[in-house]
Structure 1
């Protein structure tokens, strides 16, 4: 009889891309995984993976077995989560994904969460691209917008409004703009990532939205680094308020053009896979975020 755990391990090896990475993820030795994979192939009487020094390649039957192995892996996860719920224990490894900019807010929250739940170990994955929660086994992702994916659940955490700020030293040196159009004459700090460059700042006027082109000495693909540059007096910055909250509270950054309305911010969501049995660690973390940041009802992506 086939060992379901061996099938789940096979799926993990394929997802990880190598036995070495799977061993790190599963916290066990490479030799242990190699033996279990070999035992599965022996039980099936077929080779599932063609091994080389550079990569793993699935055989034809390996592709077919993988589809079923993933279902078995999810079933084993559900059984474990059901047991966790029954025992009412918040424990295990919690895998969280957020953007690079979000780390400034997320890391202190994770420190607080692990202090509340010492049996939870958190793995934080910071990416600028959207990750596949299912394929990469992410428990909770923090995203600036929900996705049209019916296999995911989203909980709105905050509206994430933006603010325009500058250091008092910069304003003392360069003057304080009184209208949005005066930003053209100022050094502005710009978020840029690949082909995306946020050098057109939108405002809401009496007749509707209008755009002001801005420029300046720095273009950075990290919001936290832009906040640091603004606090150092390099220029004026438009940024989500939450990202600059600490600097504003300390007076290192002050609001600019507060009388000029900005469009609503992009809401921030906690996104997690829809499962029949949600692990206690996941539900506890989402509830924790809602308590610290906001509270909205869950919604399934469609």
Structure 2
């Protein structure tokens, strides 16, 4: 009979993309993983992966075996979730992923409070701006500000994401205060950029009429926190998610401009987790904690 552990190792190699990455994820030596793969191929009498110095490619047999190995992974995970669901205490590891601005500004204080309430929980916070693969990277909960399309995930809405136009008092004292959206064409604007695209068209709506203004600026930033810091430094006017500058608006470091105009909101904030029949108690408790803490009020 095949050793199921060999199949889970094979699945980990494929999801990680390499033997060395799988070894890191599983916490064992590269040679151990390599031997387990060779043992599985020997037991099956077929090569599962074509190995080169640059990449691993599944054989046709490997593709079929992978589907069965993934079923074993799901079954083992379900068993673990069932055990976790029937625990009397909230305990054990909890892996949480979050974009950097949300993590720094809002999630870190909440995690601190959650671990105080549940001292047996061990939280690993992964602060990354990329879209993590929750299943492959064994993430229990992720916070995302995005339009969600993955039907394999459960999404719980935490907050809306309004946007605001801001500048520092020092910039406004130097350059003047814009009275209408068209005035922005005469100002230095700080522009958000992503994937080689610069977002320099800003829409403003008043009484049902939307005016789109093409702005200009010499500073382009691909990070929300850095964009807020640049505005605080007096470099210009910027349009950004309000949740990232709420503290600066309260302290007076930044001033809201053209408040009579409506701005298109950003994607809502969600807590997402893999769709499972059984959800570990620490995961479900953490999600409910985020909802009960009125996350929306914090952003």
Distance 1:288-1:196 versus aligned 2 partners, 3 A rule = farther
Shift of residue 290, structure 1, vs aligned partner? 1.7
Q: State the shift of 1:168 in Å.
A: 1.3
Give the distance between the partners of 2:141 and 2:123, measured in 1 at CA.
14
CA contact (8 A) 1:146 1:269 kept: no
Alpha-carbon distance, 1:212 to partner? 1.5
CA apart distance, 1:111: 4.1
User: Please, which runs of 5 or more residues in structure 2 have no aligned partner?
Assistant: none
* Corresponding position of 1:81: 81
* 1:59-78 paired onto structure 2 within 5 Å: 59-78=59-78
Closer/same/farther in 2, CA of residues 101 and 250 from structure 1, 3 Å limit: same
CA–CA distance in structure 2, aligned partners of residues 232 and 190 of structure 1: 15
RMSD: 2.3
Asked whether the 8 Å contact 2:84–2:279 carries over to 1, the reply is no
Q: Evaluate the alpha carbon distance shift between residue 8 and residue 16 of structure 1 in structure 2; reply closer, same or farther with a 3 A threshold.
A: same
Is the Cα contact below 8 Å between 1:120 and 1:281 reproduced in 2? no
1:19-38 equivalences in 2 (<5 Å): 19-38=19-38
Structure 1: gaps spanning 5 or more residues = 296-302
Deviation digits for residues 74-108 of structure 1 (CA, Å, limit 9, x no counterpart):
11011011111112443444333333443333344
Bigger Cα displacement from structure 2, 200-209 vs 31-40: 31-40
TM-score of the superposed pair, with normalisation by structure 2: 0.88
Q: What is the match of residue 184 of structure 2? A: 183
CA–CA separation in structure 2 for the residues paired with 1:46 and 1:123: 40
Shift of 1:213: 1.6
Deviation at 1:293, TM superposition (A): 4.3
Check conservation: 2:204, 2:261, Cα contact below 8 A.
yes
Residue of structure 2 in register with 1:127 after alignment: 129
**Deviation (angstroms), 1:36:** 3.0
Q: SS at the partner of 1:127?
A: coil
Aligned to 1:270: 271
CA 1:93/1:39 → structure 2, altered by over 3 Å: closer, same or farther? Answer: farther
Corresponding residue SS for 1:282: helix
How many pairs does the alignment contain? 294
Structure 1 stretch 52-61 or stretch 112-121: which is displaced more?
112-121
Quote how far apart the aligned CAs of 1:277 are.
Answer: 0.7
Q: Secondary structure at the match of 1:87?
A: coil
Q: Give matches, 1:7-18, under 5 Å.
A: 7-18=7-18
Q: State the TM-score, normalized to the length of structure 1.
A: 0.87
For the residues of structure 2 that align with 1:110 and 1:32, how far apart are their CA atoms?
A: 36
What is the match of residue 262 of structure 2?
261
Cα shift readout 1:205-256 (whole Å, capped 9, x = no counterpart): 1242211221122111111100000111111121111111222232211212
